[in-house]
Structure 1
Amino acid sequence: MLQNKKILIGVTGSIAAYKIPILVRLLIKAGAEVKVVLTPAAKEFVSPLVLSTLSKNEALVDLSTNNSWANHVQLGRWADVLLIAPLSCNTLAKFANGSCDNLLTAVYLSATCPVVVAPAMDEDMWHHPSTKNNLSKIASYSNHIIPVEKGELASGLIGDGRMAEPETIVKWLEDFFLSGNQLKGKKVLITAGPTYEAIDPVRFIGNHSSGKMGIAIAKELKKCGAEVTLIIGPTQVELPVVNQVIKVRSAEEMYNACDKIFSQTDIAILNAAVADYTPVIVAEEKIKKQDGVLEIELKKTKDILKHLGEIKTLKQFLVGFALETTNEKEYALKKLRDKNADMIVLNSLNDNGAGFGYDTNKITIFDKQQNEYSFETKTKTEVAADIVNTIVKLYV
């Protein structure tokens, strides 16, 4: 799986850097082409000469040497993946805040390839709130994080913070490149964001959905090779690079957009927080403030998930979402049955770090046979990967 893959390794100043020669040997043995960039601090932990010899490419440290310029832009474009291993606490903070003071940070900021990081630090540093915040930041930039391991640390303590072993990193990369083709040739429709139901030209009925979760799923689908159409309601979040983006405002517009393209779709993922009700009458002029009670008559919006469930074929896979506050599992399973969906993703507003506005989420997935797949609270990028991986397992 790593045959002819171009892997650029970024090494930072951590004692775990002593494992990188082993990692380079394993990657070369697997058929990969490897180049290495070190931070100045990393030279104190591992020899550039050793890495140059093992990788058969000069290990770079400085932006320029002997009137020669290390083209950081070209390095980031050369690689199929940029692997930062080990990622120190210091360089993590630089990545999170866009600091650029050495060759590696310049390569990171200009890289057009996927970025994967394998953190390494002492347990107290790993659990510090600022470290968690920085990890969430780089995850929100679509960087991938290989989990740390628990064991003996350089301080002599036993705890979390060990960099993943070289063999684990190689296996992670193999799985990563395998996932890049899992949905190749599949056409996927995904909805995201809220809908705004107009009351008058100024006011609307809406909800707190940001669109972050749906956008994260769209990115993950694209990474897995799918042809992605994103139908999205009003949002301030930067839109992903997918095959097609259709912007809508109301539930009616989202219904019509989904209905129009669903027949050409292999997988439909209805993540949007679509309004359940919309005003019967929309005022043509702004409603003036007045004494007394303003009454607005509402009618049900069209049920997109139910409609697609009624018309889907056996070759199509339909995914719904359920955001609940009480009897979560019961309501999610009922929705799964009633809407003829193939999979339902449950969010509970009772879970910390889940729901609207967060950069994290906690989900439980149910399939058509009512099998349950539970996940811990993770960044929305990681949650998106869990959702897409489950779809692949159930559909592909």
Structure 2
Amino acid sequence: MRAVTWHGRHDVRVDTVPDPEIVNPRDAIIKITSTAICGSDLHLYDGYIPGMRAGDILGHENMGEVVEVGAKSSLKKGQKVVIPFTISCGNCFFCSKKQFSACDNSNPAETADASEIMMGHPMGGAFGYAHLTGGYAGGQAEYLRVPYSDVGPIVIPDGLDDDKVLFLSDILPTGWQAAENAEIEPGDTVAVWGCGPVGLFAIQSALIMGAHRVIAIDHYPARLMLAKQMGAEILDYREVDVRDALTEMTGGIGPDAVIDCVGMESHGIAIDNLVDTAKAHTFLGTERPHALRQAIMACRKGGRVSIPGVYGGFADKFPLGQMMEKGLSVKQGQTHVQKYSEKLLQMIVEDKLDTTFLISHHASIEDAPDMYKHWHDDQNEYTKIVLKPALAKGDVQTLKEFAHEPA
């Protein structure tokens, strides 16, 4: 089969690789119909996530048609399913608490040992995301092996287009969990750093959960336009001092809750970020947490901090004292996708959630190397890319064209 493979920093290729096979009775094989490039994939593309090996198949936002099942799979051939990016057994201590991304059985021993050394405990398994999370092949390919297929896959009712449900795999529940972790109360002002796909879904979720105001922070005009269209107030961090602006907008108090949807690769020319960037480029550090520092400093006393943005190691100059003295509550972590699947699918069916507004391009798997480069370099024009194996090479479909100034 054809698959998108990682070969080093900024080196993504499309190779012919062996087809996946059933290796466990709980496995299933799906024929991929849609798979997306995630913002988290850019951390792999930029070489910031350890544990990648040349030839690894990328992709953790996947869906398709069931074509083969193991003896203990609950799926049936022909079903249309979305695959959570988290691989979870459903039976361990953590899965029993619905903390599915912390599954204790999905990361094989040979890779779990490395993540335990780095993180303190073994990480849960995940598709297409380094050998620290199990070394599982991803779904930016024609076919995908799905372990624990009796636990993870979301069976999709007939009549729902892929674009409406694909993001149940990751970014929609990630945005929802981010808003949930912010413990939003009626009347709250919530500030969201980063208006990429997760940030936009966090904004949508916060408003559904009852936030009175959501303030979105970014510098890409198209993303800010999308945030504004959803009902958020917007700040371009190139044009304002974000902390001063938030203080003024909240009458000197600060936001009740802040959500960091940026993660380890913050942009900007602030002094702390320039130092972080220099350290990352010289392999003296892994994180550029400028957005998180700013969020903690801006949050009101007694407020809440939610961190869905990906971090991979140790951060310098972390405002621990400020967090403690202000009495902030902090929640973060990989998404427990299966916890939210049924609820979010029902909201999509009832048209209570829009999941297609951010898709800018459809392309074939064969065009993935170019799409990765665009996703990395042209994030104003490429707000979300969905790869479809059925498309022919060069058949890139532009679904939205964005202006270069926010509305």
- More helix as a share of residues: 1
Larger-gyration structure (1/2): 1
Same-fold call, TM > 0.5? no
Calculate the TM-score normalised by the size of structure 2. 0.29
Q: Say which structure, 1 or 2, has more relative contact order (CA 8 Å, 6+ apart).
A: 2
TM-score when normalising by structure 1: 0.30
